[in-house]
Structure 1
Amino acid sequence: MAGLNIAFIPIDNRPVCYTLAQQIAAIDRDLALFLPPREMLGDLNRSADINGIFSWLKKLENIDSIVVSLDTIAYGGLIPSRRSSETFEEIKKRMESFFALLREKNTKVYAFSSIMRISNNNINEEEKEYWSLYGEKIFKYSYELHKNAPDTDVKADVPPEIIQDYLKTRQRNFEINKMYLNLSKQGVFETLVFSKDDCAQYGLNVGEAQVLEESIRANALNALVKTGADEIPLSLLSRALAGGRVIKIAPVFTQKDYTNRISKYEDVSVSDSVRGQIELAHCEVADVLDADIILVVNNFKQEQGELVMGVDVEGFDGEIELPQKPYLIADILNANGADNSFVKKFFEKQIDWDKFLGYAGWNTTGNTLGSALCCAIVKFLANNPDEAAFKKVQAVRFLDDWAYQANVRKALKLRFDKPDIEALKTLMQPFEKTLQEKTGLDLTTTKYSYPWNRFFEIEVSV
């Protein structure tokens, strides 16, 4: 992996989408990752500066590959993809200009586009305004419409103009995704991924995914439909780095009898999710004896916990035997945060920093797997590794996924109505001390922020 230059256009400016990619790339001094200035990317309430990103990309030279979140160019980001009022023709014209620019760059393109999600709640923070009144009813309508297809006699307990607007936005995005499939037939993409974000068993989004999958199979296209979203650019970065080499990875589950369970916000089993993420990273599932890397998966038994929604489940109660081969850890016992029991037992072990390839335990199962695998692959392939950079990535992940998401966030929400930086700093200090002892890094100057001014995520700067 010598001297690679990769352009990387994230889906928005959140830390897990922007800075995590930078932090992982820094593990190999020979890997140059180029991102647009962060202020050009969208956030919770602002769309990306699409023209600015065009100008930035035009100026880049000698790029080996580009990893691109197509939603950023098409709509201004993931959240604007659900809110944008632009027409299909307006977006199509912009995307034609973008693909013309990519052809000029003459580089390998690893791209992904989201299949518009349907949240089963009345929270409009990331949706159109009417979701606060009709979100659950729209979800139910979508669920029943797909479940009872081809019978379309399903009534929506929602004002007609609201349903009409929602279906119009869905159809526009679906047509854009079908346009990408046609470009895939022309060989535009090295890899194209359609992401299923926050899935259920049925829904218009699931039906659209099925149509896309059928077209991919019928035309033998180099495209995939995968559960997930935020981690997929990192998965595509893994794929770009692997090149022609296939890394063999053996999953080892803490609850091997429960791998058929389905994680929250996903529509496939844990075992299928793990296999899918390994293969998306252009790696191969292997047994332990043949594997280059061991993937330790701390999975759940009957039900996955959900730390934001207050769903508590029994933590890991076994003993940890760390592999003798290079290994990484995907902590998926909970959605939205680490398993305290597992982390405690892991920290009781002596960490061999040569063998340890990384930890993650944030948001969904797919988010955790894709990001952990990317970090592991960069370190495993690095010709010029930076141990301090790797330890910084681990400090950030444990401070975020374990300290904040599994512990501090809940304590803060009980005491405050809105994010409080000083209280956050104080509550994080004991965790900093633990990680300072494990990593040998000076974490006394660690900085924190709430990038989207909400409790859900923080940014950790080590």
Structure 2
Amino acid sequence: MLPFCLNSILTYNKVMNIAFIPIDNRPVCYTLPEQVCAINSSINLFMPERKYLGSLTKYADVDKIFEWLEKIPQVDAIVMCLDTVAYGGLISSRRCPDAFDEIKNRVENLKSILEKKNAKIYAFSSIMRISNNNVNEEEKEYWDKWGKKIFDYSYQTHKLGTESCISNIIPSEILDDYLATRKRNFEINKLYLEYQKQGLFDTLVFSKDDCAEYGFNVQEAQVLEKLGGFIKTGADEIPLTLLARAVVKFFDAKMQRCEDAKSFTEPVAQSRHCECERSNSVNSKVVGRDYCLDDETSLKISPIFLAPEYKGLISNYEDVSIEKSVKGQLELAGCKVCEPDEADILLYVNNFEDHQGEIVMKVPTKPFSKKWQRPEKPYMIADVRYANGADNEFVKQLFEVGLGDNFYGYSAWNTSANSLGSLICGAVVKYYGFKLQRCQDDNSKTVDRDYYPDNKNENFLKLQTIRFLDDWAYQANVRQELNSPDEKLVKEKMEPYEKMVFGLLGVDYNISYKFTWNRLFEVEICILSN
């Protein structure tokens, strides 16, 4: 998307320009941000070419990403995964053999580039995880034999406060390599904290996933927190949550909630700041490109748990309750948590009872058994009763009742944090697009009516088509029928679900499927041009 003008009123500065450096080239990391931002045509999203990002087996081309970052036009915000530029990606951060000094030089180069950009920087870096398994798909080669032992060593050493005797079981060269990699990454994270104190980052988040009660990752999080760092449970969704935060902060500074606004005045040449002229009435005038928000009118969202008595339970792969996870995601996204009667959007959470289920791992849980009633207010749904896949009983009721024009999104992607962060981001982008549409409706003589998205815009419907096909049709159903990545077979299996989703959303698309990482864990759903 390129900046453009409409009727001499909408200037380049009218549009929010965002640079986005993803975790890697997975669809949820690369194409999902594109799909979300496409909902709101007042947002320009700039991303490096996909081929420069890391994958399951290769590192990102950091030099190409730096070259891209230096050449992009002026942007309002930069949202970035620091692991991508430091190590070549999130998975690469656990595998990268480079020494501390080499990585330090790389991030200092990044710092010098960012200091030249007149943009707000929203960044996150991971605290290196410790998986409690012997699966090395996303770890170093030795994890297939020593992963669980290393996890136990980490757990016991932290819990007991002294080195565990398990260290005698693990080969010294393997343990030394693992501990050296951890120390290197931890020191880099402390370097980011120094940058933050120097004012480089507007928001800096340290993420931790696959958490246990004890472990080196937990210890590191505690130290970083004491040093002033902000710690967040999660990983893959955090760039999207930060994207939401950037959008909220930008539009809250640029917009004025004045539903009866009558007109735009002449644009202020090259203005980059809000200049609101208050009239004697309740209404405000909009000056130049800026449509400014009152200080106290940030987006308000109210969480509603469908099993409220169980909101204190902890999701799989996380270390905080689902209630705290929801609150944390909303606050990081820049939203205000409120009561339902005050809310701009209701966030319904189909939370689990007793424990969170695992469809792929064949861990059952009690499905949703109440009666779903569609609300009158704008609403979105985080379906987290199962990890990585929808609750079929709940989705069945959604199909029966319908979604309505006040629907702001659905997600059941992987962990609870993953679902929440991606869902909230889409709702935030849609919300501000709709607010701009309302502004356009009040000033239809001056602003092109086709510029802003309406409440049923095509790109939002495409996003929801992909989410239902991925989170419900594929993850909760079709994936269990596949033994290996087979694009022809998955298309055949998905076609009956496509018809159901098309009927639910009132669309009709030509869909194709790709296994980008040649595994069943994720599928890339592509909506093709007719």
* TM > 0.5: yes
1:155 to 163, 166, 173: 166
- What is aligned with 2:470? 400
Structure 1 position 306, deviation (Å):
1.1
- What is aligned with 1:447? 512
Structure 2 CA distance, aligned partners of 1:345 and 1:155? 50
Cα 1:300–1:207 shift into 2, 3 Å: same
Kept after mapping to 2: 8 A contact 1:358/1:394: yes
Q: How many residues align?
A: 449
Structure 2 CA distance, aligned partners of 1:196 and 1:419? 29
Is 1:368 the equivalent of 2:419? yes
Is 1:224 the equivalent of 2:230? yes
Is 1:350 the equivalent of 2:402? yes
- What is aligned with 1:219? none
Structure 2 CA distance, aligned partners of 1:322 and 1:182? 48
Per-residue CA deviation, residues 333-356 of structure 1 (Å, 9 max, x unaligned), is: 000111111111111113212x11
Structure 1 position 153, deviation (Å):
4.7
Structure 1 position 2, deviation (Å):
4.5
Q: Identity across aligned pairs (percent)?
A: 55
- What is aligned with 2:344? 292
Structure 1 position 146, deviation (Å):
1.1
SS of structure 2 residue aligned to 1:460: strand
- What is aligned with 1:421? 487
Kept after mapping to 1: 8 A contact 2:156/2:164: no
SS of structure 2 residue aligned to 1:309: coil
Is 1:323 the equivalent of 2:375? yes
Structure 2 CA distance, aligned partners of 1:148 and 1:246? 45
Is 1:145 the equivalent of 2:197? no
Kept after mapping to 2: 8 A contact 1:54/1:98: yes
Structure 1 position 152, deviation (Å):
2.9
Is 1:266 the equivalent of 2:326? no
SS of structure 2 residue aligned to 1:89: helix
SS of structure 2 residue aligned to 1:311: coil
- What is aligned with 2:218? 206
Kept after mapping to 1: 8 A contact 2:152/2:166: no
TM-score by length of structure 1 reads: 0.96
* Structure 2 unaligned regions, length at least 5: 1-12, 253-296, 437-451
Structure 2 CA distance, aligned partners of 1:196 and 1:2? 36
- What is aligned with 1:220? none
SS of structure 2 residue aligned to 1:446: strand
Structure 2 CA distance, aligned partners of 1:107 and 1:344? 45
- What is aligned with 2:107? 95
**Alignment RMSD, CA only?**
1.1
Kept after mapping to 1: 8 A contact 2:149/2:166: no
2:240 to 234, 237, 240: 234
TM-score by length of structure 2 reads: 0.83
Structure 1 CA distance, aligned partners of 2:500 and 2:311? 32
Structure 1 CA distance, aligned partners of 2:159 and 2:334? 33
Structure 2 CA distance, aligned partners of 1:146 and 1:347? 48
Structure 1 position 57, deviation (Å):
1.0
Kept after mapping to 2: 8 A contact 1:362/1:401: yes
- What is aligned with 1:114? 126
Structure 2 CA distance, aligned partners of 1:92 and 1:369? 33
Question: Which residue identity is paired with 1:450?
Answer: F
Structure 1 position 155, deviation (Å):
3.0
Per-residue CA deviation, residues 257-284 of structure 1 (Å, 9 max, x unaligned), is: 0011100000000101011001010111
Structure 1 position 154, deviation (Å):
4.0
SS of structure 2 residue aligned to 1:161: helix
Kept after mapping to 2: 8 A contact 1:2/1:31: no
Per-residue CA deviation, residues 218-261 of structure 1 (Å, 9 max, x unaligned), is: xxxxx521000000000000000001462111100111000111
- What is aligned with 2:521? 456
Structure 2 CA distance, aligned partners of 1:90 and 1:210? 26
Map of 1:238-249 to 2, 5 A cutoff?
238-243=244-249, 244=252, 246-249=298-301
- What is aligned with 1:378? 429
Structure 1 CA distance, aligned partners of 2:305 and 2:385? 11
Is 1:192 the equivalent of 2:199? no
Map of 1:305-316 to 2, 5 A cutoff?
305-316=357-368
SS of structure 2 residue aligned to 1:289: helix
Structure 2 CA distance, aligned partners of 1:434 and 1:164? 54
- What is aligned with 2:59? 47
Question: Which residue identity is paired with 1:6?
Answer: I
Structure 2 CA distance, aligned partners of 1:263 and 1:350? 28
- What is aligned with 1:29? 41
